[in-house]
Structure 1
């Protein structure tokens, strides 16, 4: 026995699944077609003025001309859908008589090859010059779409619009997250996002490389951040305890004699009203810092900003590593006089008067961001 309420509920569940699973439109369209005793259903994004199809999902269309490439120019329903009120469901017999449609090119090259005759559909969302519409087609022997069916499809319009709006918002959030990750990947130091149990939720490129090589004893065990050294592990446990209790918002663990450290900061989250999650535990942002890490300077940026020559670029690469003039001269196999001449030129171009000031300027203007090809 047909259960309309249960069928509609299942249809809406499938529809809303497309917010996070956009590849599921054919599944929904198949259920929609079945609900209206039809073999064919379509969902398209089209131009509101010109016969252009930007995106299309279909079920039940296997024969005839390709709609997006050819049949769209012949479609007698395209203009009424585009010019009618948003959300209004049109049935084909109100737009064109059965006899006229049977003689039309659109029927002959598109509907007839797929065994269809009657159509029903609506534009449910418009955004600038584009619009989204849903359509259902069925054979002549199953009869024209009824007023009851038209009202039923019209009742789905609000859900179509909500799914589109939620999908658009989801895509915006995903795009923002990807952009944020790309920005953090450009940092020369490690950044780790941890939950309250110190499970790694997200890592930037530098942190991934450190964990892969077990740098400073950093490891992941069952997804949790750990340290191999017993003293460091104890420090991490204490830092976790302190942050959990809210006694501190920032803890630091020294990882090596030369100053490498793991800086842990409590991640400020919104209140309970900002999330549907039952968890109230604040997460942690961890920064892996290493003063001895080689800081690659982008030569292209240095040339663009200061006009440094090839010889000068080679020298700044050594100075940034902490070498003095004598050590840099030996590495470059040039005299100390030549190195001092290059250094003087670099300082003039960067408008500094001391070597320490030069290093600071290079690090802040070029060394803070890595360029990944």
Structure 2
């Protein structure tokens, strides 16, 4: 029937019906802007906000929403909205998600609630109690699923005085979906790497190891909390307008030489595996800072002057790592609270007599606790106990 429609219209003297418009019929610049926003959205906070805004304009929609993690009874979920009503979004996250029947669409399909459920959609609580009070009549939706378990819902709405969503609107959704899916996969990978980076950065900070990363040109890219504390003391080393500076002229020259070698500007074999160390004296008379300078190998597929090219590690010997949690030591070694406290005191360098005095117990009682600790941990000497604790995971807790 559809194949013969042009001939029937021609025989009746009717003008040829124009084919439905597709997204590619738009200005190339508009299409490029939308695609660019979709992929750049993986780096935005909140992600894809600009892309949703462009989609809202193209669809002449009242709202466009991307539900990155659907709400549950235990979790509010994650939603990005444009044209939103804040109170309405909270209502959906807390209550109406449970009665929303317009969910779990087949991937790649773009449809309206009437096409999925029928006209009874308009009699349900989702429309009557939630959408209608917001002056929302028409909804268009599609779902995206990724191999790693991400489920996203893309929804657009129009008001009661608007036209229903048509085939051109659905074609735009179909055009967007595969690009949105790829961008979601990119954002998921970026988010995973950022979580891993924050976890490792937190571990390094807890170990009180200062870390300073340098770009290829020598400018400082990032400083962690411990390095910031050391530099703020301005005792031997600090951050000047032209980079790191040292009080001692010899230390300053040596630090600059090692940094230049690590950045690959010096002569010799300053390759990616280059690691150098030096002490930095402090005018206060405190113990010298330990400094390690390491080159960061270049990536195989990326070359940018804003990536770390060298890293400087700083250690302040006068600053001990934060003591591990007493409960953590107790649980991992199976000790009592008193035994755990004694073990920690011995690890901090106190003698058994000093530990007994600090704990306000007799020396014989302390020896009894120490023998119990030896029995439970399998060590036979105090030095072995200290080594066990120093090499354990307690400092990460």
Contact 1:312 1:346 in 2 (8 A): no
Tell me if 1:212 matches 2:240.
Answer: no
3-state SS in 1 of match to 2:43: coil
Distance 1:251 1:110, change over 3 A: closer
Query: Residues 338-368 of structure 1: CA distance to partner in whole angstroms, max 9, x if unpaired?
Result: 79968985996676677xxx44751563378
Q: Tell me which residue corresponds to 2:175.
A: 155
Contact 2:146 2:181 in 1 (8 A): no
Q: Tell me which residue corresponds to 2:102.
A: 77
What count of residue pairs does the alignment treat as equivalent? 357
Query: Residues 75-122 of structure 1: CA distance to partner in whole angstroms, max 9, x if unpaired?
Result: 4533xxx253x1111135534666x55555544334433334332221
Q: Tell me which residue corresponds to 1:228.
A: 247
3-state SS in 1 of match to 2:42: coil
Q: CA deviation at 1:270?
A: 3.5
Tell me if 1:35 matches 2:58.
Answer: yes
Query: Residues 2-39 of structure 1: CA distance to partner in whole angstroms, max 9, x if unpaired?
Result: 96332233233333343122325555433312211222
Tell me if 1:89 matches 2:110.
Answer: yes
Q: Tell me which residue corresponds to 1:362.
A: 386
In 1: Cα distance, 2:71 partner to 2:324 partner: 48
Q: CA deviation at 1:154?
A: 0.3
In 2: Cα distance, 1:94 partner to 1:318 partner: 72
Contact 1:262 1:289 in 2 (8 A): yes
Q: Tell me which residue corresponds to 1:13.
A: 36
Q: 2:301 aligns with which of 268, 274, 284?
A: 274
Contact 2:215 2:305 in 1 (8 A): no
Q: Tell me which residue corresponds to 2:198.
A: 178
In 2: Cα distance, 1:71 partner to 1:280 partner: 45
In 2: Cα distance, 1:296 partner to 1:46 partner: 37
Q: Tell me which residue corresponds to 2:19.
A: none
Q: Tell me which residue corresponds to 2:278.
A: 253
3-state SS in 2 of match to 1:90: coil
Q: Tell me which residue corresponds to 1:265.
A: 293
Give the structure-1-normalised TM-score. 0.73
Contact 1:53 1:68 in 2 (8 A): yes
Contact 1:297 1:317 in 2 (8 A): no
Contact 2:143 2:154 in 1 (8 A): yes
In 1: Cα distance, 2:141 partner to 2:269 partner: 61
Distance 1:266 1:114, change over 3 A: same
Q: CA deviation at 1:158?
A: 1.0
In 2: Cα distance, 1:108 partner to 1:164 partner: 32
Query: Residues 27-70 of structure 1: CA distance to partner in whole angstroms, max 9, x if unpaired?
Result: 543331221122222222466999x9733333445498944445
Alignment of 1:183-194 (within 5 A): 183-194=203-214
Q: Tell me which residue corresponds to 2:185.
A: 165
Q: Which runs of 5+ in 2 are unaligned?
A: 1-24
In 1: Cα distance, 2:396 partner to 2:237 partner: 24
Q: 2:140 aligns with which of 120, 124, 128?
A: 120
In 2: Cα distance, 1:372 partner to 1:108 partner: 53
Contact 1:118 1:137 in 2 (8 A): yes
Distance 1:133 1:276, change over 3 A: farther
Q: Which runs of 5+ in 1 are unaligned?
A: none
Contact 1:265 1:285 in 2 (8 A): yes
In 2: Cα distance, 1:247 partner to 1:210 partner: 30
Q: CA deviation at 1:223?
A: 6.8
Tell me if 1:238 matches 2:266.
Answer: no
Distance 1:46 1:231, change over 3 A: closer
3-state SS in 2 of match to 1:22: coil
In 1: Cα distance, 2:352 partner to 2:97 partner: 73
Distance 1:236 1:144, change over 3 A: same
Decide which moves more: 107-116 or 61-70. Answer: 61-70
Query: Residues 234-291 of structure 1: CA distance to partner in whole angstroms, max 9, x if unpaired?
Result: 22123234443354523232334997353333234244x332425798313324353x
